[in-house]
A and B are shown apart, each in its own frame.
Chain A
Amino acid sequence: MTDHDVLDGQLKDLAAHYRSAMSAGTVPQRRRAHRHRVLRVAAAATGVTALVAAAALAGVFALPRHEAPVEQTATAVTQPTEPPERAGAVTINAKETAPVRDFRVPRIVFARDKALYMSGLTCESGTCTFALRVSRDAGTTWHDLTIGSAQPGHDNAPGEAAFTDAEHGLLSLHNRLFATSNAGRTWTSVTNRVLTDFNVVGTRVYAREMGAQDTGVAGPTVGPSGAVWVDGTTIHELLPPPGGLAGFAATPDGVYALSNASSANLVAFSTTDGGKTWTPATAPCTTPQGKAGRDGSRVPVWSIKADSNGRGLWFSCDRILYRSAYLGAAWVDVTGPLAARADENTPDILPNSPTVVSYDGSTAWASVFTMPAASKADVDLFRTTDGGATWVHVDRKMRELTALDAQTAFALAEGDLDMTGNANCGTYIDTQPASCTKPVVLYRTSDGGATWSDVAIP
C-alpha cells in the first residue's frame, strides 16, 4: 500500500468513528410555538380573534405605528416573570484566593473607576473552574473568586458575567442565572433560563435567551420573547418585534432591533417602551444576505453594538461600519481606513467586519480581522475620538478591549494569532499545544493607545 492509501484508510476510519459517535441531531424548527404565543397575546390585547391578529401581524409593515396591533398590554407579558425556582434558589459562595497561575480564556467583564473584573477559568492539575479575577485598584493587586465548575454545552461557554456596578452583577452558569450584590462573593440563582450576550445599560442588563435552536443541545425552553432585560433580580420580557427578534442592541434611549420578518431585506425596528410598541426603523445595509461566498451563496454579515457608555449605535455589515447617534436614526458611513484593512486577501466572510468597542459617543475603538495570508489571521486596532469621522491606527494585536475612560483602556492580546498549527493558542482549554509559548496577556494604556504596558498579574 502507498502512503496515499494508508492515509486514505486512516481518514476514512476516523470519519467512520465520528459518524458512529455523533449524536442524533434535532432538525431546527421554525419558532411556531413562540409565534402562537405572540398571536394569543396580540389577540388578547386587541380584543379580536387570533386569526384577525395573525392577519394584522402579517400586514403590520403597511400600517402606521398607532394602528399596528403589535401594541401589547403590559398585563399580559411585561410583568416580571416569576422566577420558577425562587423557592429552591441555589446559592454559590465563591472562594477567594490569590490569583491562580493558570487562568484561561480571560474576558474583561467590568471596568469602571478602579475596578477591573475578568471572567475565565482557573485551572489546576487539569481541572478548570469558572472564576472571576478581580482588581479594585486599577490592576495593581488581584484576587480570584472561584465560583463553580465550567459548564458543558450551550455554546460551550464557560459562563458569562456582567456587572452594572462594582457590587452588582449577573452570571449565566450551569443553565441558571445568578445575581450578586457583594462584588461576586456570593451568587444566588434567579431563574433557570439560559441567557447570553449581556448588554449593560445603566442598572439594566439586556440579554438574549438561548435554547435548543441556538445550541443544538437539548435545553430549557426559550421564554416567550427570545430576549429579556434584568433589573436587579427582576426579569422583564423584551417583547419581540413583528416577525421575531433576529438581533438587537440596547441604549439608554431604547432598543434597536432587527426582525426575522423578511429573509430578503433587513427589517429594523426600535422601541422605547420595552417592546410594547415597535416603530419601523432604518437598517443601513441594502445587502442583507451579506457577502457572496466562494460558492456563490450569500452569508449574513452584520452586527449591532451600542456605545458602552453613550447613547449611539454602531452597525457593521458587509465590511462597512455605520454610526447612528440615536436609535438607528440617520446612519452615517464611518468606515474610513477600516475598509482597506478588512479587504486584504480575505477568503472568509463572517469575521471581516469591524468590531467596535466605544467608551462614549466620541471615543471608540475598532478592531478589524485581516488575513494577510490565507492561513494567517491578524487583528488591527483603530481609535477615534470624533465619533468615527477619523480613525488612528493603533498597531497592536489587541482584542477584548475595554475602555476605563477616554484615555485608559485594557485589552487582551493574543500571543499567537497564527492559524498554522497553533490555532488553539490562548483559545482552547485542554488542547493548548506545548508550542503556545506566548499566552494571552493583559495590556493597559493610559494615553489613548499610544503606549501599552503589560499588566503583570502575580
Chain B
Amino acid sequence: MDDDADFAAFYAACRPRLVTILAALTGNLTEAEDVVQEAFTRALPRWGRLREYDDAEAWVYRVASNLARSRWRRSLRVVTDYGADTHRAAGELSPDRVALVAALRALPLDQREALVLFHIADLSVDDIARRLELPAGTVKARLSRGRRAMAQLLAPLDKVTAHD
C-alpha cells in the first residue's frame, strides 16, 4: 500500500510537467496525455525498482518520448489531432500560440527537444546533455540552431517569404 501511495505522489508531481513537455514536443495535448499515461502505466509494475533510481521521472520521460516517436512510425493505428479532444485542445489556442506550435513542429526533432527541455522543462545544458547522452557542446549547438530557426519561422511574413 505504501508503494501505491508513493506512486500516486510521484504521478501527481511529475505528470503535469511531463504532459507539458510532451505536448510541446508533439504539438498535441491529447497525444501527450496519452503517451504519458501509457508511460506511467508501464512504470507501475516496475515501481519497486524505479523508485530507487536517481531520476525516475527521466525514465518515464524516455518511455513517453519513445512512445510518441514509435507512434508516428507505426502511425496507421495512431491517428491524432481529430475528434472531440482535439477541439478542446486546439480551439483554445490563440493565433500566436498556433504559430508557435507550427514553428516548433517545423523544427527537426533534436532541436525541438533541446528547446523544450531547456525552456519548458527548465533543465540546464548539462542536465539535457546527461539525459540525452550527448556532449554539452552538441546541446548548445542544437539550442542555438533551434533558436535561430524559430526566430525565422516566427518572423513577420514578408521576411519568411524571402527564405522560402
Q: Specify the chain B residue showing the minimal Cβ separation from A159.
A: B79
- With A263-B45, A299-B63 already in contact, the answer to whether A421 and B33 are too (CB < 8 A) is no
User: Which residue numbers of A lie inside 8 Å of B, CB to CB?
Assistant: 3-4, 7-8, 10-15, 17-19, 21-23, 25-30, 104-107, 121, 128, 150-153, 155-158, 160, 213-217, 260, 263, 289, 293-297, 299-300, 348-351, 369, 374-375, 377, 399-400, 412, 414, 419-421, 423-424, 426-431
Contact (Cβ within 8 A) A28 B44 = yes
Contacts of A153 in B (CB 8 A): 83-85
Pair B30/A17 contact, Cβ less than 8 Å: no
Residues of A within 8 A of B77 (CB): 107, 155, 157, 160
B159 interfacial contact with A, CB 8 Å: no
Contacting residue for B11 out of A27, A263, A351, CB 8 A? A27
B153: min CB distance to chain A, Å: 10
Which of B33, B75, B82, B86 contacts A25, CB < 8 Å?
A: B33
Known A-B contacts A23-B33, A295-B59; the reply to A429 vs B150 at CB < 8 A is: no
Which of A12, A15, A294 has its CB near the most chain B CB atoms (within 10 A)?
Answer: A15
Considering the complex, give the chain A residue whose CB is closest to the CB of B99.
A10
**Also in contact, A428 and B81, with CB within 8 A (given A295-B55, A375-B108):** yes
B85 touches A350 (CB 8 A): no
Query: By the criterion CB–CB under 8 Å, are B37 and A21 in contact?
Result: no
**Is B115 touching A11 in the complex (CB atoms < 8 A)?**
yes
B46 to chain A, nearest CB (A): 5
Residue on A with the closest CB to B70?
A351
B119 neighbours in A (Cβ, 8 Å): 7-8, 11-12
Q: Contact between B62 and A27 (Cβ–Cβ < 8 Å)?
A: no
CB–CB A377/B73 < 8 A? yes
Task: Identify whether the interface residues of A are mostly helix, strand, loop, or mixed.
Answer: loop
In the assembled complex, the Cα of A15 lies from the Cα of B116 at a distance in Å of 9
- Total B residues in contact with A, Cβ cutoff 8 Å: 82
**Would you call B38 and A294 a contact (CB within 8 A)?**
no
A118 to B72, CA, bound (A): 19
Q: Which of B32, B58, B66, B79 contacts A428 (CB 8 A)?
A: B79
Nearest Cβ distance between residue A171 and chain B, in whole angstroms? Answer: 14
B86: chain A residues at CB < 8 Å are 152, 430
Q: How far is the CA of A10 from the CA of B37 in the complex (A)?
A: 26
The answer to whether A430 and B37 touch across the interface, beta carbons within 8 angstroms, is: no
The closest CB in chain A to the CB of B8 belongs to A27
A7 touches B109 (CB 8 A): no
Contact of B66 among A14, A348, A430 (CB under 8 A): A348
Supply 12 further A-B pairs (C-beta < 8 A) apart from A3-B147, A293-B59, A429-B80: A27-B7, A104-B79, A152-B82, A156-B80, A156-B82, A260-B45, A294-B62, A295-B59, A349-B66, A351-B70, A351-B74, A427-B78
Q: Cα distance A11–B120 when bound, in Å?
A: 6
B34 part of interface (Cβ distance < 8 Å): yes
The one of B76, B101, B109, B147 that contacts A375, using a Cβ cutoff of 8 Å = B109
Nearest chain A CB to B53 CB, angstrom units: 6
**What residues on B are CB-neighbors of A297 within 8 Å?**
50, 53, 58-59, 62
Q: Within the complex, what minimum Cβ distance (angstroms) separates B30 from chain A? A: 7
Please tell me if the beta carbons of A30 and B24 are within 8 angstroms of each other in the complex.
Answer: no
Cβ–Cβ contact B100 & A10, under 8 A: yes
Q: Note all chain B residues with C-beta closer than 8 A to A400.
A: 76
CB distance from A25 to the nearest CB of B (A): 5
Q: Are A375 and B16 CB-contacts (below 8 A) given A14-B24, A351-B70, A369-B73?
A: no
Asked if A10 meets B24 with Cβ closer than 8 Å, knowing A3-B151, A215-B34, the reply is no
B15 on the A face (CB < 8 A): yes
Are B83 and A151 in contact, CB atoms less than 8 angstroms apart?
Answer: yes
**B106 in the interface (beta carbon within 8 A):** yes
Task: Using known A-B contacts A152-B84, A374-B110, determine if residue A107 contacts B33 with beta carbons closer than 8 Å.
Answer: no
